[in-house]
Structures are given as structure tokens and as C-alpha cells.
Structure 1
Amino acid sequence: MIIAADIGNTNIKIGLFDKDRLVKSWRISTDVHRTSDEHGSILKQLFFAAGIDADSITGGIISSVIPQLNYTIMHMMEFYLDVIPIVVGAGIKTGLNVKYENPKELGSDRLINCVAAAKKYGAPFVLIDFGTATTFNVVNEKNEFVGGCITVGIKTAVKALANSTARLPEVELKPPQKVINASTVKAIQSGIVCGMAGQVEYIIKRIKKETGLPDLKVIATGGLSELVHEVNDSLFDIMDRELSLEGLNILYHLNSGGA
């Protein structure tokens, strides 16, 4: 089996793959102050609870948007699993033709999602990832990653509103029943979620116009995509929450000879 780690701003997703099959996955909170030994201890507990033998891990791969955690997780895999992981970065084989002006600027999270979507669903598509940031990523009919756009994430917007105002609370995110509300909490919930749905609808429309691809597949990933879907269930053609780990598994086999 191989271990895949997707290090995000909020969570680290960990998956174990036996060839193309996702055997087990976990999600732990991201903490830049946590040491490699602390990560190793958490992993040992997760393996023990799932009945996983560490000796069954023969390879690893890491995607990270937090550079200071790269070495920490690499060292953890080397010491606790005896594997030297592949790290997703510029120059890695992806199966996509990346047309970004500076490939080093392209977040590995965006890349791995598109790799998985291209294999599972085929190009062309726009992939929307609802995370700490909300990213729109376009792969055209030639299997070229041509770019996209980035906006604020839903939870990030909630936190920013609470932190930047004196009397507006940080609310729990729930799908709103209506736009007009007579309480502050519900007004924030409807404004944030319906606002994101409207933003997504507009950006999809612009992307289809700019690419000249009116039938472009719209793929959503990330747990918060469900909130937007409940507001407007016609926005997405496909919803798939496990793309990042699947993309890492694909990249591992592309760059390791399938070991």
C-alpha cells in the first residue's frame, strides 16, 4: 500500500491506497507547531485503531500548501514508515499540460484535484474546490490546465466578518431556507452561502464564455460544496469529495513507475 498526505490550510487528509482502491482515510487538523514525532504518534494510533500494519506501506506522496510542514511530514514518513515520499511540485509528471505562467506558483492542491478529475471524468471541465479558499480550475479539451480564479472560502468569509466587526458573531454554517431573514445569525448564514452560490454561478458563466465551451463539465469538490448545492442544485454536474487523495495516488504511480 501507499500513503498519501494532502496538507491543507485547515486539515491534513491522509489516505491509504492498494493500487487504485482507497483502503482507509483520515482527516486531522493542521498544526504547524506539531512535530514529526507528534504526527507519527497520531499516525500510529490511527493505524492501530484500523488494524493497519506500518510494514505494509511501501511508498508515499505528499501535497502541501504549507511549506513549513513539508519537512515535518516527510521526516515522519521516513522515520515511522521507512518510506521516502514523493513531494508534489513543479516538474512532477501529471498527465496534464500545465499552461500556468509560473508553474511554481500553482498550488499543488489545485493540481492534484485536476489530475484526478481528468482521469475519472475526462476533459474539458471546470473544477471548483470549496476549501479555505474557493478555487476555480479549468482544464480544456486538449487536457491543458489553463488557469482559473481564486476567491475567499465560505468558512474564511464567516471568520473574516466576525473578526472585522464588533457585533457580528461567527456563525455555524447551515443551508439557508430563504434569503430574507429576521435574525442576525440567519441573515449572515443566508448572505454568505447564497452570496457564494451567486458568485459561483456567475464565474461558471464567465468561464464557459471565455473558453467557448458552453457544455463544459462543472465538477465540485470539498465538503462545503454541499452547502452551495443545497441553495442551487443545478450548478454542478458532478460532486466528488475524494479527488485530492485520488489525485495523489495517480501522481504516485506516474512518478514512481507504479512501485
Structure 2
Amino acid sequence: MLLAVDAGNTNVVFAVHDGVEWRGRWRIATRADRTSDEYAVWLLALFQFSGLKPTDIDRCVIGTVVPAALYNLRRLAREWFSCEPLVARSTIDWGFEIRVDRPAEVGADRLLNALAAHHHYRGPLVVIDFGTATTFDVVDEDGAYLGGVIAPGINLSLEALHKAAARLPRIGIGRPQAVIGRDTIAAMQSGIFWGYVGMIEGIVARIRSEHEAPLKVIATGGLAPLFAEGTTIIERIDPDITLEGLRLIAARNPAPAPPRNPRDSA
């Protein structure tokens, strides 16, 4: 079975695929100083609840946008699952061209989203990922990654609004009943929700104009269903698209050889 690890800025998601389906998905807050043993105590307890054992795992693939977390995630794979993890980075075989000026700078999550979106939906398309940042990634008809847009995530914007304005409270995100807010919280919720809907529609419209071709729009991330309620521009929501990218990249690339020194972090 495959252990897929998606380490984002906010959460690390672990998932197990048995070759047919995902057997379980679990998430924990991202902390760069979390040790491999801490991950193992938490994860193996969840394995037991799902009827899984460490010996069931024979492959591991890691995608991370937090370089400092990689060392202990690698140690987790080596010491607790006895396998050398494949790390999703620009130098492995993606099966498509990365047509940007500096491929090494593209976040693994964006490439994984592009890979899975093209595999399942075919291009040309745009993948919107509502994560710590809100990203728009453009995939050509042949599956090539063309670049995209990075904007502040919704929760970052909410926190910045609260911290920068002394009288504005910290609020949760939700779809307001009306655009015109009748109190401070309703006005803030309207500004965030409809502001992001406007941003989504505006950026996708400009991407379509530059690309000069019809583009499907796929959305992922925890807030994708909420914002899909406010616009018809999102055609499909796929919550597992990054994990699917990890599964596909593991199937495409051979398992790496273990290092000579098992304590090596490279």
C-alpha cells in the first residue's frame, strides 16, 4: 500500500491507498519541529482504528511546501515504515512540461494539482486551491503546466483585517444573506465572501482571455464548496486532487534507493 503525505503550510495530510481506493485520510497541524516519533505515535493509533498495520505500507510519497518539515517526514517513512520516500519536486518525472521560467520554484502542491486535474478532467483547465494561499494554476491541453496566480488565502485576509483594524473583530467565514451588511460582522463577511467571489471570477476571466481557449475550472481545498455556492464559474470540486497527484507521481516514478547512511536527510 501507498502512504501519501501532503505537507502544507497549515496541515499535514496522511492518506493510505491500497491500489484501488483510499483507505483513510488523517490531518495534523503543520509544525516544522514535530519529530518523526511524534508523527508515528499519532498516525499508528489512527492506523489501528482503520484496520491497518505499518507493515501494510510498502511505498511512501511526500509532497511538501514546508522544507523544514521534510527531514522528520523522511525519518518517519524510513524508521517506522521501512521505505525510502519519493519526494515530489521539479526534478522527478512528472510526465508533462513545466513551462515556467524557474521550475524549481513551483510549489509541489501546484504541480500535483496540475497532474491530477489533467489526468481526471483533461485540459486546458484552471485549478483553484483554497489553501493558506489561494492559487490558480493553468494546465494546457497537452497537460503542460503553464504557471498561474498566487493570492492571499481567505483566513490570512480575515486575520490581517482583524489585526490591522483595532475595532474589527475576528470572524469566521460564511456566505452572508445579503451583500449590504447591517452590522460590522455582516459587513466584514460580505466583503470577504463577495470580494473573493469577485476575485475568482475576475482572475479566471483574465486567464481565459490570455489563454484564448475555453478552460474548465476545478476547485479544491476546504473552502471550495462554500465559494462554489457564490459563483457558476467553478465547474467541479475535487477535495482529493493533491492526494491523487501524489498517487499518480508515485506510480510514475520508481521507489528511490535508501541512502547509505539511514540518518541522511538529503
TM-score of the aligned structures, taking structure 1 as reference length: 0.96
Structure 1 match to 2:174 = 174
Question: Relative to structure 1, is the Cα distance of residues 25 and 92 closer, same or farther in structure 2, using a 3 angstrom cutoff?
Answer: same
- Which residues in structure 2 correspond to 1:6-155 (within 5 Å)? 6-155=6-155
**Conserved 8 A contact 2:23-2:50:** no
Deviations 1:88-132 (A, max 9, x none): 112111122111111110000101011111100111101110110
Shift of the alpha carbon at 1:163?
A: 1.7
**Conserved 8 A contact 1:178-1:190:** yes
User: Is 59-68 or 85-94 further displaced after alignment?
Assistant: 85-94
Q: Does 1:221 align with 2:220?
A: yes
Distance of 2:190 and 2:207 partners within structure 1: 25
Letter in 1 for 2:239: R
**Conserved 8 A contact 1:176-1:231:** no
Q: Does 1:206 align with 2:201?
A: no
Distance of 1:217 and 1:189 partners within structure 2: 28
Shift of the alpha carbon at 1:142?
A: 2.6
Match of 2:233 among 232, 235, 239: 235
Distance of 1:168 and 1:77 partners within structure 2: 45
**Conserved 8 A contact 2:3-2:14:** yes
Distance of 2:133 and 2:203 partners within structure 1: 15
Distance of 1:100 and 1:15 partners within structure 2: 30
Q: Does 1:183 align with 2:202?
A: no
Shift of the alpha carbon at 1:249?
A: 0.4
Aligned Cα root-mean-square deviation (Å): 1.1
Shift of the alpha carbon at 1:195?
A: 0.3
Percent identical among aligned pairs is 39
Distance of 1:253 and 1:112 partners within structure 2: 13
Q: Secondary structure of the equivalent of 2:229?
A: helix
Letter in 2 for 1:69: A
Q: Secondary structure of the equivalent of 1:98?
A: coil
Distance of 1:252 and 1:53 partners within structure 2: 20
Q: How many residues align?
A: 255
Distance of 1:104 and 1:2 partners within structure 2: 25
User: Is 86-95 or 245-254 further displaced after alignment?
Assistant: 86-95
Structure 2 match to 1:247 = 245
**Conserved 8 A contact 1:5-1:62:** yes
Structure 1 match to 2:192 = 192
Q: Does 1:4 align with 2:1?
A: no
Query: Is there any run of 5+ residues in structure 1 with no aligned partner, and where?
Result: none
User: Is 100-109 or 157-166 further displaced after alignment?
Assistant: 157-166
**Conserved 8 A contact 2:94-2:115:** yes
Distance of 1:189 and 1:256 partners within structure 2: 47
Distance of 1:55 and 1:228 partners within structure 2: 41
**Conserved 8 A contact 1:15-1:245:** yes
**Conserved 8 A contact 2:115-2:143:** no
Query: Is there any run of 5+ residues in structure 2 with no aligned partner, and where?
Result: 256-266
Q: Secondary structure of the equivalent of 1:208?
A: helix
Shift of the alpha carbon at 1:33?
A: 2.4
Shift of the alpha carbon at 1:20?
A: 4.4
Distance of 2:230 and 2:121 partners within structure 1: 24
Name segments (4+ residues, structure 1) moved above 3 Å: none
Deviations 1:213-245 (A, max 9, x none): 1x210111111112211222x111111111010
